[in-house]
Structure 1
Amino acid sequence: MHTISPSPRPRPSRARLRAGALAVALVAAPLTALAVPAAAVTGSAATTGSLAYTARLDIGDGTRACSGALVDPEWLLTAASCFVDDPAAGLDVTEGAPPLATTATIGRTDLTTSTGEVRTVTKLVPRTDRDLVLAKLSRPVTSVTPVALSSTAATAGESLTVAGYGRTTDEWSPLTLHTGTFTVDSTATTTTSVTGQDGAAVCAGDTGGPEVRGSGTSAALVAISSQSWQGGCFGQVSTETRTGAVSTRVDDLASWVTDTAAKTDITDFNGDGVEDIAVSDPEATVNSKAKAGVVRVVYGGGAGVLELNQDLDEVAGGTEAGDQFGTALATVDYNEDGYTDLVVGTPNEAIGTDTAAGFVDVIYGSADGLGQGTHYLHLEEGGASTTGSLLVSSPEAGDEFGAALAAGTTAAGEPYIVIGTPGEGLDGEAEAGEVFYLRGSTSTAIYQGKSTVSGTAEAGDHFGASVAADKNHIAIGDPGEAIGTAADSGGVQILSHTLNADGIPTPIAGVAQSDGIVSGAAEAGDEFGASLSVTDYRTSSSTSDSLIAVGSPGEDLDNESGVSQADGGRVVILRVTAAGAVSYTEDIHQDDTDVQGAIEAGDRFGAQVTAVNTAPRAVSSAATMHLAVGIPGEAIGTVAGAGAVQTFSLLGEPGDSDFWIQAGNASGLPGTPGTDQQVGASIHATGTSLYIGMPYGPSTYGALHVLPWSNATGGTVATVTTYAPGSNGLPATGVRFGYAAR
């Protein structure tokens, strides 16, 4: 068999082997040129396709090799000792990106073939009580069935099958997966002692490999390989004949594996496992240039702060007055290296003599933070670093490329970026609008009238003024769309990530008010689609549905007295199924049954919306599907424009779950309502928190407040984290800090 390489020193006492301790601990074997296959210590190579859930890990581009076991489409179990320089000195692994670049090959029992799937390991989650980590993969593995964890410990005398890609009797680095039979000697709290039969031994390179009870679909993972005497392994002294080993138990960890896999991802620019945050101030002055814009980054765990502006090497371009760098933000691990990347929109950037043409930068994360490794990917129409539709497009004055951004990964785990260009002129129609979609080698333009996208590009549509997406679907707002003679009534285009014959995301539906899907009339100034948010929706029968929140802040609605209130605003919830069926599920507004607040002129309820599924792997419920609605024009008492945020469940009647957030109330949002503070103008949801930006005061430079969802939904009030210039290590400068945050 095979696993990691021998060390002359034992591990610390917590990892030492019972019954006298083994003379050696395994550490990852360096990779060399692969030798010709030969008979292994463990006997014959594994049958093609069997034990396909066994993974081969290349750590540090040939520095070490280990094995692992696929236990979830996105996660492997393997040994912590694979990721430390000296296992004898300790097994402490930091949660986050692996210290050395790591590639996993799963389902390729013969490494000379192209079967199976190859993935990058992007995150490690260690156990502190044993030699074990969960390793997250860059994309789900779809062609291999994960092995189930056993619910019972190994018992003395039973036989287990052990697999790995480590050394054999006469091979340093075999080309095939090998297996052997081991008898269980004893089981302790976190370990199991086993002995190889018929000459089988755990060798260098096998560490982290699976030890299973049963075979085929009935196989259950009992343990993973950890330490061994390595008797008979290639490179071991000939006098060492012992085939005993100590393995790490996993039979008691099913809940830990399930809970870890179910957690929503965090923003982690430096890969240390602690959540980071990027906050923009697009009106900040940089080097005496007004409204040049900055993005300030606060690394979690006290790891420091960073200012990003266009005068730095890690950002493209140069600072100019009015650029408004950071008007839009998004996050995604675009290069799939385990570090979150920051996508920054600068829609007012002049390109040549074309003012407000706009551009976008993807600033890459690294172990040292944003822009400290590979700096960035620069995107602009016709830019040298672009391809496809983006390359053949030309920047023009007023395009506002990057005015809206969305980013994430598809259901297959492939990263994408959606870029709104609402000022784009098409076929002589000024400000018709266009959207660019980037994913892998795909760089394509989307606009009304292209392929089967509904509608016609018309002046002032502002297609792409808002964009949103999840793993299943994309939504594009065109709030300037005229429906009949109703100017600025607005509409929304819904697409899937599947590319159609024309090479664009497949259009599903164009939605507008009075179209038979959404209730209400299309009226001038409704701005249906001015704000959008999309989130996964899981049912008992489907994992590929989405819910879309559509803000219509210009909607005129009658109050309880029947008097029309201009720009009172409303939000509509749409459901999109995996099959592409679009349905209208809810209409939310103030004065609705049991909903707090009253419809008033100028409230602009729905000017911003943000939705999140806090448990994306579970069947969705009212408790896990959250919606926050910004009401920046809301008057609090006699305080005009103070603003508020209202939260709801995306499921059920709005009045059953709504909660009101204003400065100084029970939510924990600090301060007191102030004139034109416009609370609700900047909101963003994550799986753990609701971000509320207050760029218009009362703080001198603006602020961002992070409310745990328990606060934001009327539960237990926990500590609110506030980021503001002059605190948290941030310099005391700025104008509209909190304008956007991710």
Structure 2
Amino acid sequence: MQHSRGLRLATLGAALIAAPLALCAPPASAVTGTPVADTTYAYTAQITVGPHDRGCSAVLVDAEWLLTAASCFAADPAASLAVPAGAPQKSTTAIIGRSDLSGTQGAERRVVELVPRTDRDVVLARLNRPVTGVTPVALAASAPAAGEELKFAGYGRNKTEWAPLKLHTAAYTVDSAAATSATVTGKDGAAACLGDAGGPVVRAGQLVGLSSQSSQGGCYGIDPAQTSTAGVISRVDDLKSWIDGKVGATRIVDFNGDGLEDIAIADPAGTVGTDTTAGLVRIVYGGGKGVAEINQDLDWVAGGAEPGDWFGDSMDTVDWNEDGYTDLVVGTTLEDVGTAADAGFFDILYGAPGGMGTGALKSTHFEQGAGDGAIKAATPEAGDRMGDNVVAGTTAAGEPYIVVAAPGEKVGTVAKAGAAFYLRGSVNVAIHQDKADVPGAAEANDGFGTSLAADSNHIAIGAPNEVIGGDAAAGNLAVFSHTLHADGHPKPLFGLDQDLDTVSGGAEANDDFAWSLSLTDYRPSGSATANESILAIGSPGEAMSTDGGATQKADAGRVVVGRVTAAGAWSETRQLWQGTADDDVSGTAEAGDRMGETLTAVNTAPRAVSTGATMRLAVGTPGEALGTTANAGAIHTFSLVAAAGTNDRWIEAGDGDGIPGTPGTNQYLGRNIHYTGTKLYVGMPYGPGLGALYALPMSNTITGGTVAPVTVYKPGTGGLPNVGTRFGAQAR
């Protein structure tokens, strides 16, 4: 008996139950399970791969993630369950929380990323946006036990229908459990059928496994002589740490959707053909898959390479069309538009399976006076510098957005007051200081938009040239939410300057307050999500004193850090400056340091309650003199929310943190920095040589962290051409 049972299960290996879809038959009662009429199994999803090529079931384990069978996506599941990581090879949709597919409840989403297991028939599938109104299922804490009863659900065939419209459920009895699977038998003649693969198998509402294989006794289209309801489920009760690690990780840049991290490196002063300072961007694909150059002489990139364009002067990334491939937003700050010199524009360049520029949709171009919305309504004028700054990301609801600055924009008749443009879905609006409820007033040379920062909750726009109380270039900023004001632009929350009681210090001429900004999501204790933000504000022109005020160190610089609550309230939490050699911050404040000229922040665990270890800030001090070496530059790294003294690491060239060589005159280390969830990118476009970019592992940037090997991107190495002018000026 034991031997014959083993033979029977062996034959089930080819009976994987990922189903090809056909037209839906009229509704009928499922014989192989009971139709669901309530929301008990609302976490169950139906997946459609390709244009109805294959259908499966799945289960919501996080607002953005489904768990389902790898066989749903395998090219030939009978031969192999191997599934490539990254974007699905075929367009895939999911319906979640809809027990009757003819209804409208629940949510419809696209599957944009796959994270497969290699040891069982399981894959995580990321959705393009979070699902609201459906509670994800919790994982069971123990393995299935022989003899226990488990419930299963799915959208597969029943006895009389090829593609039923209703979710159905039934019960399994567990026969035996192995390390990654369990054998089961359907009770009361019920069996899992084609289309049920990946559906949830639960114990008291907690997820134990996923339906994987079945004898399919009684299923539509199966030989009536087959009456066995035996099957195999893939265990998931032991996958909590794996799921939490994947779900909670920060997103990587992946232009070709292969699950490997790529990087875009700009040389905005690079030569294209014979055109100096035309600018270019080099894409380095992960896994040694090559290097590509993007410039304006390509037929799918707007404009044409010309001297002084500075293509790549600003960059950021976002999956703008929500297809699973990262897209690149590129500013060309000094592009002439018609007769308007240095009007500037920007482009979205789309990722695709073959790399940037290989898909059906290659790019979308934006310039003032063209397109639609506020950008079309604007007029390109000399010195607008549209694209001088750009930030992109997704809102808390998962909707992609882009904010692009035009700090030289005329507002009404006010020259160079500055503006920004906000894009999200069909929203295309301008933001400036003459808009309703926006703090401040549009004045000549404010430069509103000189700095930008945004996260899923808030937007910050700086005007470091703003006059405060008669003090020129004292600087201010405005903070907004992604919720729209009645007038259509993002809702203003508050403004900040150093003459306010809520900000330390005092406004003085040439402080350059808000010269740089950084925002990152923050999840306070007691909150279910990261619905707050930590805002860092650089004031590199600030004069600081190390002797009680007797002597002021001009342009020493400082950084103000504070919290923006979900309700839109601000509170300063700390200020950071170099002070003296004996205080908690490394270094000594000196004239010309310009600490805070650049900032970059990251939450390395955006789903977890934020801690001092997960909230990181890097501060550039590019004017730092090291010994007698002027403008060598340095970088401070801190925790955004923990004390500086035990969380301060000093980074300079040749100090053992991973940047080789020795400090050089006018290298301005720290002028080009960018955090991801796992590393700090440090650009050295001013030399030595043709420029370079260093990817420092996170441990290299943490006080007491182990120094790990650094990835180096340098012209003439790793497939990069041996040419460059300001290579490493931007990296994303």
TM-score interval, normalised by the smaller of the two chains: over 0.9
Match of 1:332 in 2: 318
CA contact (8 A) 2:332 2:345 kept: yes
CA contact (8 A) 1:314 1:372 kept: no
Return the alpha-carbon distance in structure 2 between the equivalents of residues 20 and 293 of structure 1.
Answer: 61
1:208-223 aligned at under 5 Å gives the runs 208-214=198-204, 219-223=205-209
1:587-626 aligned at under 5 Å gives the runs 587-591=575-579, 593-626=583-616
Return the alpha-carbon distance in structure 1 between the equivalents of residues 719 and 114 of structure 2.
Answer: 29
CA contact (8 A) 2:32 2:218 kept: no
Which one of the candidate residues 506, 526, 544 is aligned to 1:521? 506
| One-letter amino acid matched to 1:557 | M
Shift of 1:30: 2.1
Match of 2:624 in 1: 634
CA contact (8 A) 1:48 1:110 kept: no
Range with greater deviation from structure 2 (424-433 or 192-201): 192-201
Match of 2:3 in 1: none
Match of 1:240 in 2: 226
Q: 1:190-234 CA deviation, whole Å, 9 max, x = no partner?
A: 1111111222111111100011112xxxx0111101011111111
Shift of 1:17: 8.5
Match of 2:125 in 1: 135
Q: 1:160-189 CA deviation, whole Å, 9 max, x = no partner?
A: 111111111111111111111221111111
Local SS of the residue matching 1:198: helix
Q: 1:681-723 CA deviation, whole Å, 9 max, x = no partner?
A: 100011101111000001x211001101111123100001110
Local SS of the residue matching 1:260: helix
1:268-667 aligned at under 5 Å gives the runs 268-373=254-359, 374-384=361-371, 387-542=372-527, 543-560=530-547, 562-591=550-579, 593-667=583-657
CA contact (8 A) 1:702 1:737 kept: yes
Range with greater deviation from structure 2 (534-543 or 484-493): 534-543
Return the alpha-carbon distance in structure 2 between the equivalents of residues 52 and 606 of structure 1.
Answer: 49
Shift of 1:435: 0.7
Which one of the candidate residues 102, 106, 115 is aligned to 2:105? 115
Match of 1:254 in 2: 240
Match of 1:709 in 2: 698
| One-letter amino acid matched to 1:317 | G
Cα 1:36–1:697 change in 2 (3 A) is: same
Shift of 1:590: 0.5
CA contact (8 A) 2:597 2:621 kept: yes
| One-letter amino acid matched to 1:483 | I
| One-letter amino acid matched to 1:297 | I
| One-letter amino acid matched to 1:621 | T
Q: 1:400-440 CA deviation, whole Å, 9 max, x = no partner?
A: 11100111111111110010110100121111000111111
Q: 1:476-497 CA deviation, whole Å, 9 max, x = no partner?
A: 0111100021011111110111
Local SS of the residue matching 1:706: strand
Match of 2:252 in 1: 266
Shift of 1:574: 1.8
Q: 1:131-166 CA deviation, whole Å, 9 max, x = no partner?
A: 001111111111100111111111222221111111
CA contact (8 A) 1:49 1:107 kept: yes
Return the alpha-carbon distance in structure 1 between the equivalents of residues 292 and 217 of structure 2.
Answer: 52
CA contact (8 A) 2:14 2:78 kept: no
Cα 1:41–1:421 change in 2 (3 A) is: same
Match of 1:30 in 2: 20
CA contact (8 A) 1:24 1:229 kept: no
Local SS of the residue matching 2:449: coil
Shift of 1:612: 0.9
| One-letter amino acid matched to 2:639 | S
Which one of the candidate residues 62, 71, 96 is aligned to 2:86? 96
Local SS of the residue matching 2:374: helix
CA contact (8 A) 1:267 1:340 kept: yes
Range with greater deviation from structure 2 (17-26 or 591-600): 17-26
| One-letter amino acid matched to 2:698 | W
| One-letter amino acid matched to 2:406 | T
Local SS of the residue matching 1:565: coil
Range with greater deviation from structure 2 (560-569 or 357-366): 560-569
Return the alpha-carbon distance in structure 1 between the equivalents of residues 722 and 13 of structure 2.
Answer: 59
1:716-727 aligned at under 5 Å gives the runs 716-727=706-717
Match of 1:4 in 2: none
CA contact (8 A) 1:29 1:205 kept: yes
Kindly indicate whether residue 35 of structure 2 is the aligned counterpart of residue 45 of structure 1. Answer: yes
CA contact (8 A) 2:654 2:660 kept: yes
Match of 1:72 in 2: 62
| One-letter amino acid matched to 2:179 | T
Shift of 1:29: 2.0
CA contact (8 A) 1:535 1:547 kept: yes
Match of 2:189 in 1: 199
Task: Show structure 1 runs of 4+ deviating over 3 A.
Answer: 16-21
Local SS of the residue matching 2:247: helix
Local SS of the residue matching 2:245: helix
Return the alpha-carbon distance in structure 2 between the equivalents of residues 145 and 56 of structure 1.
Answer: 16
Percentage of identical aligned residues: 57
Local SS of the residue matching 1:474: strand
Match of 1:6 in 2: none
Range with greater deviation from structure 2 (110-119 or 555-564): 555-564
After TM superposition, the score normalised by the length of structure 1 is 0.95
Q: 1:92-128 CA deviation, whole Å, 9 max, x = no partner?
A: 1122111111111100111111110111111111111
Return the alpha-carbon distance in structure 2 between the equivalents of residues 508 and 541 of structure 1.
Answer: 23
| One-letter amino acid matched to 2:292 | L
Mind listing any 5+ residue stretches in structure 1 that lack a counterpart?
Answer: 1-15
Return the alpha-carbon distance in structure 2 between the equivalents of residues 19 and 439 of structure 1.
Answer: 52
Local SS of the residue matching 2:78: helix
Shift of 1:86: 0.6
Local SS of the residue matching 1:301: helix
Local SS of the residue matching 1:557: coil
Local SS of the residue matching 2:517: strand
Mind listing any 5+ residue stretches in structure 2 that lack a counterpart?
Answer: 1-5
Shift of 1:19: 4.1
After TM superposition, the score normalised by the length of structure 2 is 0.97
Range with greater deviation from structure 2 (328-337 or 393-402): 393-402
Shift of 1:32: 2.3
| One-letter amino acid matched to 2:452 | V
Q: 1:378-401 CA deviation, whole Å, 9 max, x = no partner?
A: 1112223xx321221221111111
Cα 1:17–1:173 change in 2 (3 A) is: farther
Match of 1:61 in 2: 51
Backbone CA RMSD of aligned residues: 1.3
Shift of 1:449: 2.5
